[in-house]
Amino acid sequence: MVTPRILILAVGLQLVASTFADAQTSGRQVSVVLGDSLMTAGMTVDAIEAYRAGLEQHPDDAVLLSKLSIALASWAQETPGREGDEEVLVEAVNVASAAVRSDPDLSRAYTALSIAVGRYGQHLAHVHRIRRARQVIDLAKQAKAAVEYAVVLDPYDFAPHTILGVWHRELTIVHPAAKAVARLFLGGYPDVSLEESERFLNRAVELAPDRVTVRMQLALTYLAMDDIDVALEELRMAVEFDPRSGYERLEQEDARELIEELERELE
Question: The domain that contains 91 carries what CATH number?
Answer: 1.25.40.10
Closest CA to 221 of 192, 205, 242, 197: 197
Q: Is residue 92 part of a domain?
A: yes
pLDDT of residue 179: 57
How many domains are there within the chain? 1
Amino acid letter, 263: E
Q: What is the pLDDT of residues 226-247, one digit of tens each?
A: 999 999 999 999 999 999 888 8
Q: Is residue 4 part of a domain?
A: no
Q: What is the pLDDT of residues 180-228, one digit of tens each?
A: 555 554 556 677 899 999 999 999 999 999 999 999 999 999 999 999 9
What are the CA-CA distances from residue 225 to residues 27, 132, 202, 228 (Å)? Answer: 48, 29, 14, 8
Q: Is residue 182 part of a domain?
A: yes
Parent domain of 59: 19-200
Q: Is residue 264 part of a domain?
A: no
Q: Is residue 250 part of a domain?
A: no
Q: Is residue 6 part of a domain?
A: no
Q: Is residue 56 part of a domain?
A: yes
Amino acid letter, 157: D
pLDDT tier at 132 (50, 70, 90 boundaries)? low
Average pLDDT of the segment spanning 26-46 = 89
Amino acid letter, 184: L
Q: What is the DSSP letter of 66?
A: H
Q: Is residue 218 part of a domain?
A: no
